[in-house]
Chain A
Amino acid sequence: MRVARVASSRRSFLGHSYNLVGIAASLVILAWTLVAIFAPYIIPHPIGDIVDDDYFGPMRQGLWLGSDYLGRDMLSRVLMGARYTVGISLAAVSIACFSGVVLGMIAAVTGGWLDTCLSRFLDAMNSIPSKLFGLVVVAAVGSSIPVLILTLAVIYIPGAYRFARALAVNINTMDFMTVARVRGESTAYLIGSEILPNIIRPVLADFGLRFVFIVLLLSGLSFLGLGLQPPLADWGALVRENIGGLPFAAPAVIVPSLAIASLTISVNLLIDNLPQKIRDRDA
């Protein structure tokens, strides 16, 4: 009975305990990351080449995932699509979370008018519908990868700010913050050394969640034709351009959808099952 209880679905390694679901999810994420990095070297055909006589071709030898609406190799397009989906989303979420969290902590520590101004301004930003905002920006300055990254980042800064501020405000009321303030510490020290270590776990979870949102929003924008422009294509764009294959149950429309689902679900599962540090007094 004792042994059975101890050896549950958690494993321990390097002072952390891991969950099997978490391990599986991180393997999926790792696989997609590797694909994103090495895509140009592993694709069987260039993404623009028409290699099939038929369109919406079925899965068969040589064309493992069939062909798209122009008869291009779907496997190559999905592998290269990973590059754009993962890369753009990661860049955007990094910018969004970094700025949002830093601003949120500064607002919580400083308080007063700075806090009020920042909060109101970002609340106003938050009230703009994200797709509409993307639409306006792309219409105004055109669609390119840097523009997409910045747009997506700006859309998700207010959320990250609110989240970090709410966490930091709680930490800010603790006595150790008062002690540090009376010691005469600077704001940079307060947010970097006193607050951040206490909120890093929820912030990382939020990072993952926001990554998922951005992947979905990017896919949505691409689906509307506002994202990457042909012949480049991320997963969302792949779904859109092959939507005509739906009546034929073409793998060209199913596979990119599955790719989006596998990545977002894995990230979610990983967030829920992050390794936990074992705090055991004398084990």
Chain B
Amino acid sequence: MSNLVEIRKLRIEATTDAGRLVEIIKGVSLDIADGEIVALIGESGSGKTTVALSLMGHARPGCRITGGEINVNGKNMAALPEKERAKCRGTDIAYVPQSAAAAFNPSSTIMEQVIEVTRIHKLMPPEQARKRAVELFRALSLPDPQGIGARYPHQVSGGQLQRLAAAMALIGDPKLVIFDEPTTALDVTTQIDVLKAFKSVMKAGGIAGVYVSHDLAVVAQIADRIVVLKGGEVQETGTTAEILSAAQHPYTRELLAAFEPKSRQIRADEDSRPKPLLRIDNLMAGYGPVKRNGQPVIRAVDSVSLVVEKGRNLGVIGESGCGKSTLARAIAGIHPAATGDIVFDGKALERAAGKRTRDQLREMQIVFQYADTALNPAKPIEDIISRPLTFYHGLDRQARSKRVDELLDMVRLPRALRYRHPSELSGGQKQRVNFARALAASPKLIICDEITSALDTVVASAVIELLKELQRELGLSYIFISHDLSVVEAICDQIMVMYKGERVEQITPDKVKAPTHPYSKLLFSSVPKLDPTWLDGLVRDPELVNQYGHR
């Protein structure tokens, strides 16, 4: 036994509703040496989390480890009885979940939860455990390492909570830590701090890690080796440099290609004078009780003005909580603005959607981030897409059915999908249906609220390509809201940067390299690059980080 982890021909089966058995992991083998960080990368459904969890001998409900060996630190986790496995968890192997916010118990203090592992396994007395925890907090560069443990989970930020989850994992001195997409839910500016903290702690302790992610750029910063998974099988294994520079497998190349700067579409009518489609003046929207002057107590969007031209796209970018989604909802009338004018296609719009005419509603459609909640799970795709056709266009059954086929073709989905329910589609397919429903209304403007954030890189770039194509064919305009600069850059003619509810800068994509506002500088420099040395070489102006970062 030379390696810390040796997985040999691992097979995991899942049982479906009908009692049919499906093999979801088909003979995966991989090794992890002491102190080595291996990344498992692949699209959703590729089995990367399932493999990672199996290292703890755990299979999710409905799944079973049916074959192979999982040797971790000399023990075969697949064959060990549950009681023995439990002994290893937290001491030999630890786990950092994707959403630390969901993993912490909101009703007890952070310190109690961080040292829980030492109590369960009787590793050290509580006093010593607390001291060790404070050391870890310091190593993970958390602010106020002495005092942070006394707080409750809702009193710290998402990035801090993620690092605290890592502290919880590290306190039992594990030999192997499993990171399950720990930065996916974080902003780019926060992600950097978390990644840096993880990397330094793992290096200092010589701890081996498994890093599950679908973001190749993030993985490039932290992993020594990369294992590419697809459909429950290993596609390619190699050192990070090998995979990034000389990928062999077509799927890996596809992943890499999604990172290449996309060619922006060149418009034939570049010189013809564009007409404004939507003009917003001094829009203000917020939450909470309304004050006497008619303004809400909490202002989420503060005096924002913008113009969207016909056939052009506007990108809105900023971190979570900057008010970009509220802006979208105010424009669509879901969350009526407190003050400000909305002029659409030459006519002033009512602030509340309920007061707009049916045609005005039809011409402006909004597509939401989570297709899971945006599509009614109780209805087949056909009904979902055909409702706007009946509602706005009054089509009869035959015409509707024909149009549904056309719309499915437009978003590149097979026609047979119309009989399925949303739960039977993949994430990318659902987002396409979501988009097809907006198209069914024949709108002039589509507001896309983070529509690619919940998707894998490869799927997301395919959706972006689709959006571009549809724009060429149908002459649509988009307002594209995202926290992902590369996505916005690829599709938008103008990019508006938002910070704390205000517009800080508006630039064109070719000037992204040289933003003028300090917040834009910080934001743009925080987007991970494929270069493995990027994180180590990154120098950020400490004053900027203090002013705009959330540590």
CA distance A193 to B18 in the complex (A): 28
- In the complex with contacts A17-B17, A17-B18, A279-B423, A176-B358 CB distance below 8 A: no
A182 touches which one: B17, B361, B370 (CB < 8 A)?
Answer: B361
Question: A187 CB to closest chain B CB, in angstroms?
Answer: 11
List of A residues within 8 angstroms of B333 by Cβ: 182
312-359 of chain B: CB within 8 A of chain A = 332-334, 353-354, 356, 358
User: Are B378 and A183 neighbours in the complex by a CB distance under 8 Å?
Assistant: no
274-331 of chain B: CB within 8 A of chain A = none
CA distance A184 to B19 in the complex (A): 42
Question: B362 CB to closest chain A CB, in angstroms?
Answer: 8
User: Are A178 and B391 neighbours in the complex by a CB distance under 8 Å?
Assistant: no
Question: At the interface, yes or no: B95 with Cβ under 8 Å from chain A?
Answer: no
B20 touches which one: A7, A10, A184, A280 (CB < 8 A)?
Answer: A280
Question: A250 CB to closest chain B CB, in angstroms?
Answer: 49
Contact digits for B241-284, partner A, Cβ 8 Å, 1 yes 0 no: 00000000000000000000000000000000000000000000
List of B residues within 8 angstroms of A278 by Cβ: 17-18
User: Are A178 and B16 neighbours in the complex by a CB distance under 8 Å?
Assistant: no
Question: At the interface, yes or no: B517 with Cβ under 8 Å from chain A?
Answer: no
User: Are A182 and B366 neighbours in the complex by a CB distance under 8 Å?
Assistant: yes
B21 touches which one: A2, A12, A179 (CB < 8 A)?
Answer: A2
CA distance A200 to B377 in the complex (A): 13
Question: At the interface, yes or no: B131 with Cβ under 8 Å from chain A?
Answer: no
- In the complex with contacts A2-B21, A5-B15, A17-B18, A179-B437 CB distance below 8 A: yes
User: Are A197 and B15 neighbours in the complex by a CB distance under 8 Å?
Assistant: no
351-390 of chain B: CB within 8 A of chain A = 353-354, 356, 358, 361, 366, 368, 370, 373-379, 387-388
User: Are B19 and A183 neighbours in the complex by a CB distance under 8 Å?
Assistant: no
A181 touches which one: B353, B373, B376, B391 (CB < 8 A)?
Answer: B353
A185 touches which one: B20, B391, B441 (CB < 8 A)?
Answer: B391
- In the complex with contacts A176-B373, A194-B376, A6-B423 CB distance below 8 A: no
Question: At the interface, yes or no: A144 with Cβ under 8 Å from chain B?
Answer: no
CA distance A197 to B15 in the complex (A): 27
Question: At the interface, yes or no: B421 with Cβ under 8 Å from chain A?
Answer: yes
CA distance A119 to B332 in the complex (A): 31
User: Are A181 and B17 neighbours in the complex by a CB distance under 8 Å?
Assistant: no
List of A residues within 8 angstroms of B375 by Cβ: 176
Interface residues on A, range: 20 to 34
Question: At the interface, yes or no: A283 with Cβ under 8 Å from chain B?
Answer: yes
List of A residues within 8 angstroms of B531 by Cβ: none
Question: At the interface, yes or no: B424 with Cβ under 8 Å from chain A?
Answer: yes
List of B residues within 8 angstroms of A8 by Cβ: 19
User: Are B334 and A281 neighbours in the complex by a CB distance under 8 Å?
Assistant: no
- In the complex with contacts A181-B334, A281-B424, A175-B358 CB distance below 8 A: no
List of B residues within 8 angstroms of A17 by Cβ: 17-18
Tell me the count of chain B residues lying within 8 A, CB to CB, of chain A: 34
List of A residues within 8 angstroms of B424 by Cβ: 279, 281
User: Are A197 and B378 neighbours in the complex by a CB distance under 8 Å?
Assistant: yes
User: Are A182 and B353 neighbours in the complex by a CB distance under 8 Å?
Assistant: yes
List of B residues within 8 angstroms of A184 by Cβ: 353, 356, 358, 361, 391
Question: A1 CB to closest chain B CB, in angstroms?
Answer: 10
218-258 of chain A: CB within 8 A of chain B = none
Question: A281 CB to closest chain B CB, in angstroms?
Answer: 6
User: Are A174 and B391 neighbours in the complex by a CB distance under 8 Å?
Assistant: no
List of B residues within 8 angstroms of A10 by Cβ: 19
Contact digits for A165-197, partner B, Cβ 8 Å, 1 yes 0 no: 000000000111011111111000000011001
- In the complex with contacts A10-B19, A17-B17, A178-B361 CB distance below 8 A: no
List of A residues within 8 angstroms of B361 by Cβ: 182-184
User: Are B374 and A175 neighbours in the complex by a CB distance under 8 Å?
Assistant: yes
CA distance A268 to B424 in the complex (A): 31
Residue of A nearest to B353 (CB): A182
CA distance A7 to B368 in the complex (A): 42
3-20 of chain B: CB within 8 A of chain A = 15-20
Question: B422 CB to closest chain A CB, in angstroms?
Answer: 9
- In the complex with contacts A175-B374, A176-B375, A197-B376, A183-B18 CB distance below 8 A: no
CA distance A283 to B19 in the complex (A): 10
Question: B510 CB to closest chain A CB, in angstroms?
Answer: 34
B19 touches which one: A6, A179, A185 (CB < 8 A)?
Answer: A6
User: Are B17 and A178 neighbours in the complex by a CB distance under 8 Å?
Assistant: no
List of B residues within 8 angstroms of A193 by Cβ: 379
User: Are B16 and A283 neighbours in the complex by a CB distance under 8 Å?
Assistant: yes
CA distance A179 to B391 in the complex (A): 13
Residue of B nearest to A185 (CB): B391
Question: B279 CB to closest chain A CB, in angstroms?
Answer: 20
User: Are B20 and A283 neighbours in the complex by a CB distance under 8 Å?
Assistant: yes
Question: A2 CB to closest chain B CB, in angstroms?
Answer: 7
Question: A186 CB to closest chain B CB, in angstroms?
Answer: 10
Residue of A nearest to B356 (CB): A184
Question: A193 CB to closest chain B CB, in angstroms?
Answer: 8
420-449 of chain B: CB within 8 A of chain A = 421, 423-424, 437, 441
CA distance A7 to B18 in the complex (A): 10
User: Are B377 and A198 neighbours in the complex by a CB distance under 8 Å?
Assistant: yes
Residue of B nearest to A194 (CB): B376
List of B residues within 8 angstroms of A194 by Cβ: 376
A280 touches which one: B17, B354, B368, B441 (CB < 8 A)?
Answer: B17
Question: A13 CB to closest chain B CB, in angstroms?
Answer: 12
User: Are A178 and B334 neighbours in the complex by a CB distance under 8 Å?
Assistant: yes
Contact digits for A258-283, partner B, Cβ 8 Å, 1 yes 0 no: 00000000000000000010111101
Residue of A nearest to B377 (CB): A198
Contact digits for A1-28, partner B, Cβ 8 Å, 1 yes 0 no: 0100111101010000100000000000
User: Are A179 and B421 neighbours in the complex by a CB distance under 8 Å?
Assistant: no
Contact digits for B22-56, partner A, Cβ 8 Å, 1 yes 0 no: 00000000000000000000000000000000000
User: Are B20 and A174 neighbours in the complex by a CB distance under 8 Å?
Assistant: no
CA distance A247 to B199 in the complex (A): 82
Question: A58 CB to closest chain B CB, in angstroms?
Answer: 50
Question: B369 CB to closest chain A CB, in angstroms?
Answer: 8
CA distance A87 to B376 in the complex (A): 36
List of A residues within 8 angstroms of B19 by Cβ: 5-8, 10
A179 touches which one: B18, B366, B377 (CB < 8 A)?
Answer: B366
483-514 of chain B: CB within 8 A of chain A = none
3 tightest A-B contacts by CB?
A: A197-B378, A175-B374, A6-B19
Q: Could you show 16 A-B contacts with beta carbons less than 8 Å apart?
A: A5-B19, A7-B19, A8-B19, A12-B18, A176-B373, A176-B375, A178-B368, A180-B387, A181-B334, A181-B353, A183-B361, A184-B358, A193-B379, A197-B379, A280-B20, A281-B424
**Residues on B facing A (Cβ under 8 Å):** 15-21, 332-334, 353-354, 356, 358, 361, 366, 368, 370, 373-379, 387-388, 391-392, 421, 423-424, 437, 441
A sample of 4 more A-B contacts (CB under 8 A), given A175-B370, A197-B378, A279-B421, is A179-B368, A182-B361, A198-B378, A279-B424
